[in-house]
Amino acid sequence: MRIRPILVLAGLSLTSGLLISAAATAAVDIGVSINIAPPELPVYEQPAVPGPGYLWSPGYWAWGDDDYYWVPGTWVLAPQPGYLWTPGYWGFFDGAYLWHGGYWGPHVGFYGGVNYGYGYGGHGYEGGEWRGGAFFYNRSVNNIPNNVRITNVYNRTVVNNVTVNRVSFNGGNGGIAAQASRGEVAAEHERHLAPVADQMHHEQAARANPALRATSNHGAPPIGATARPGAFSGPGVVRAHGAAPGAVHPGPVHPGPSQPGAAHTELAHPGPSQPGPAHTELAHPGPPQPGAAQPAVHQFKPPPQGGAPGSTGSGHTPPPPPPPRTEHKAAPEHPPAEHGNPERGNPERGNPEHEH
């Protein structure tokens, strides 16, 4: 199979409706083009947010050393208040797949219509927003455990109006047919910042990990996401679904149901929310059309409140029910012998009153 790396200068306008602007490639002035499609996006659960101010950076397939490798999703701190992350994406043009680098900016730009999950459903970002210098989290999208003190939260149900799939590139055969909106084009011309140092270190650590290479994991990387950049072992590491057992030994994490399923996510009812946008009910789309791609829902649904099944919900397990009462019937009396009992006390026979 022939691999064709091509250096692509920034600022090239594509006739297919995709746009590579100098602002969109602020992090990388030179892109790489490959004639092999990137693998599908793996399905994984979002690790718990480490603390206030961390923003979600979804996982993606990168290219290096003549192979694709998976860069796990992770939580990172924004370079400055008010800035949001626009993920990078692969776009097909002129027989090759071009990489469009991600960047930080006041608004989320175009990322190919790729559904990275957890707020990045293809256009924009529904996982949170900045308010007066503080970042507020959408609890219906993010994994916010009770032991992490985050008070800036709100609840807004996210509805995917498109078929959810795991395609990781835009255009070409089997790619996502999406074009940038006017707002996304305008966002690409705003002031942008390059990926932060933690993101760069995270990608370099993924490139150096042989288990994350596509030729090794066949599109099912052992690590789907991490709670902190560059931490690929211990607590906060979650496995991608379909990964080989024993490939990684993650520590305990708070679960998030990112199982493949329908193209909508039902919102659980968490605790009282902070002031924020009003909650909207989730519409239920019709059944998937025949031949559609297998859906993969990445959005987080908070786990049910309370303890294990059968608990009171307050953390105390109710006592077990008392055992059933058993009636003991008295043994029938033996009728007295007519001529007495000449064998009473005979050690060879025993006491007939206790023989049953």
How do 96-100 and 89-93 pair as beta strands? antiparallel
**290 within domain boundaries:** no
3-state secondary structure (DSSP) of residue 17: coil
What 3-state class would DSSP assign to 186? Answer: helix
Containing structural domain, residue 228: 38-83+106-170+191-238
> Please, which pLDDT band fits residue 33 given cuts at 50, 70 and 90?
confident
The arithmetic mean of pLDDT across residues 47-75, rounded, is: 96
Q: Which two tokens stand for residue 310?
A: 């059968």
φ, ψ of residue 176 in degrees (nearest 5): -80, 130
Flag whether pLDDT at 224 surpasses 50.
yes
Q: What is the mean predicted confidence (pLDDT) over 82-89?
A: 98
- Residues 272 and 97: their CA atoms lie apart, in Å, by 46
Q: Quick one: which of 173, 39, 180 has its CA closest to 100?
A: 180
pLDDT digits (tens, 9 = 90+) for 100-116: 999 999 999 999 999 99
Average pLDDT over residues 42-67: 96
Within a domain: 47? yes
Residue 93 falls inside a structural domain: no
The mean pLDDT of 193-210, rounded to a whole number, is 97
Q: Which residues of 291-316 are buried (b: 16+ CB within 10 A; e: fewer)?
A: eeeebbbbbbbbeeeeeeeeeeeeee
Residue 111 and residue 215: Cα distance in Å, rounded?
A: 25
Distance between CA atoms of residues 148 and 34, nearest Å: 42
pTM comes to: 0.64
Rounded Cα–Cα distance for residues 28 and 13 (Å): 16
Residue 181 lies inside a defined structural domain of this protein: no
Q: Assess if residue 337 is contained within a domain.
A: no
Domain count, the chain: 1
d(C-alpha 268, C-alpha 64), whole Å: 41
| Structure-token pair, residue 275 | 């002031």
* Residues, the chain: 356
Q: What are phi and psi of 206, to 5 degrees?
A: -65, -40
Q: Is residue 16 part of a domain?
A: no
Tokens representing residue 250 in the block:
């993650």
pLDDT > 90? residue 168 = yes
Averaged pLDDT score across all residues of the chain: 72
Q: How far apart are CA 261 and CA 165, in angstroms?
A: 10
As beta bridge partners, residue 89 has: 100
Task: Tell me how far apart the alpha carbons of residues 330 and 140 are, in angstroms, rounded to a whole number.
Answer: 65
Residue 322 belongs to some domain of the structure: no
Residue 29 in any domain: the answer is no
Reading phi first (left if > 0) and then psi (alpha if -120 to 50, else beta), residue 94 is in left
Percent of the chain scoring above 90 in pLDDT:
53
Sorted by sequence, the CB contacts under 8 Å of residue 282 that are 6+ apart come out as 157, 159, 264, 265, 266, 267
Per-residue pLDDT at 241 = 86
What radius of gyration, in Å, describes the C-alpha atoms of the chain? 31
pLDDT at residue number 32: 72
The residue that leads in pLDDT, 14 or 335, is 335
- Whether 69 contacts 214, CB under 8 Å: yes
Mean pLDDT for the stretch of residues 189-196: 96
At 22, list the tokens. Answer: 């100098």
Q: What is the DSSP letter of 201?
A: H
Structure confidence by residue, pLDDT tens digits, 233-259: 988 999 998 665 544 433 333 333 333
**CA–CA distance, 241 with 223 (Å, rounded to integer):** 9
What is the C-alpha to C-alpha distance for residues 150 and 139, in angstroms, rounded to an integer?
Answer: 10
